[in-house]
A and B are shown apart, each in its own frame.
Chain A
Amino acid sequence: MSSREAVRRVRLPARLTGRAGVIGLAALMVVIAGVVALIVVAVRGEPPPTTLAQEAHQIATTLRCPICEDLSVADSPAPLAAQMRQQISQELAAGKTADQIRANFVASYGDTVLLSPPHQGVGQIAYVLPFVVVAAGVLAAWMLLRGGRRAATATPPSRGRPDARQSDLSVADRDRLAEALARLREEEP
């Protein structure tokens, strides 16, 4: 099927004026409202734990159950983990802070009792790693996309394929063509 047939087959989109423009504006407003809501919630932050039980649970989620390898003290069904949960609650009630309670367990078990590496010494490297990975990813994507676009403008388009950059079409026509072609391609099984 030639691309001309494809264009004829697909209904032409309405111009971005009048009703369509209003719809677009409304859509934009909804998106902005949603983002604003998210930011407001993010800025106000989560409410801090109110009860001792909640706080104890939060501490327990950061500790590793020493006899079951993979689970947190909060999750583990092992009896020793139950004892640890009890001890956390008692120490909280006695006025100790979360950091003091964790430090006590570290004194007995070492850093492995913490489910996340400590924020000091070698442990810090673990917190830098995700940023390094993300930076490498962004760099890779940027190189791929930039290199791709430069090559696309530098080399003439392959024959038989309409290339928008090379045509004299208006922007609106170019859009219509691109959309029609995309639909056409999508229909290809």
Chain B
Amino acid sequence: MSVGVRRGLLLTGVLAVVAVVAALLVSGLRHDPADTASPLVGRTAPDFTLPELGGPPVHLAALRGQVVVVNFWASWCAQCHTEQPALNATWAKFRDSGVVVLGVDFEDDNADARDYIASEGSDYPVVVDANSRTALAFGVRGVPETYVVDQSGRIVDRIIGAVDAPTLERTLDLLVGGGAQ
């Protein structure tokens, strides 16, 4: 092989490798590494029976026929404070059209959780996931994390981080057929 040919081949090789690396990294840049897909979206939500904070147990399967917004939260979580008004508003707007907002308290102290609820003025049901069994079944990676379960018990959406009221309401509108207008 002549030097020229070898040189050309080598240059082509270098360019090809660089192109592949660049393509890979560009695609890497466009994905948020924290945004991991949930395999549960589109599947039946894992069932749970958890005690309400100082109250009777709540059974998820018993809520079939209603849309359930399962919100994992904790009193020590800063983003949960951020999203609390949106959740309160959603509950107020949709509670009479077949939507239940259900808080699931995660890795928390019961007294702290009660103080938090009192100070935020939320009145939707909150259950305690004492050994994180339910969080593990839902594939929770941190709080807040929110799952929307439709009338047939399927998970239709998952939101990582604070929920944003308009987006959540749009999802719920679709599920309850705009009954809240």
Contact = CB atoms under 8 A, between A and B. Distances in A.
B24 to A, nearest CB: 14
B139 A80 contact: no
Interface residues of B, number: 18
B38 A80 contact: no
Interface of B, secondary structure class, is loop
A108 B139 contact: yes
B139 A109 contact: yes
B141 A110 contact: no
A105 B136 CA distance: 8
A110 B135 contact: no
Chain B CB within 10 Å — which of A86, A105, A109, A112 has the most?
A109
Contact of B39 (A66, A83, A107): A107
The dominant DSSP class at the A interface is helix
Contact of A108 (B37, B107, B137): B137
Interface string B124-146: 00000001110111111110000
Interface in A65-82: 66-67, 79-80
Contacts of A109: 38-39, 139, 141
A106 B135 CA distance: 14
B131 A66 contact: no
Nearest to B36: A112
Contacts of A67: 141-142
Contacts of A87: 131, 133, 136
A84 interface: yes
B165 interface: no
Given A66-B139, A108-B139, A83 B131 contact: yes
B132 A80 contact: yes
B86 interface: no
Contacts of B51: none
Interface in A82-111: 83-84, 86-87, 105-110
Contacts of A112: 36
A71 B25 CA distance: 24
Interface of A: 66-67, 79-80, 83-84, 86-87, 105-110, 112
12 contacts: A66-B141, A79-B132, A80-B107, A80-B135, A83-B132, A83-B135, A87-B136, A106-B39, A107-B40, A108-B40, A110-B37, A110-B39
Given A66-B139, A112-B36, 20 more contacts: A66-B140, A67-B141, A79-B107, A79-B132, A80-B107, A80-B136, A80-B140, A83-B131, A83-B132, A83-B133, A83-B135, A83-B136, A87-B131, A87-B136, A106-B39, A107-B40, A108-B40, A108-B138, A109-B38, A110-B38
The 3 A-B residue pairs whose C-beta atoms are closest, nearest first, are A108-B139, A83-B132, A109-B139
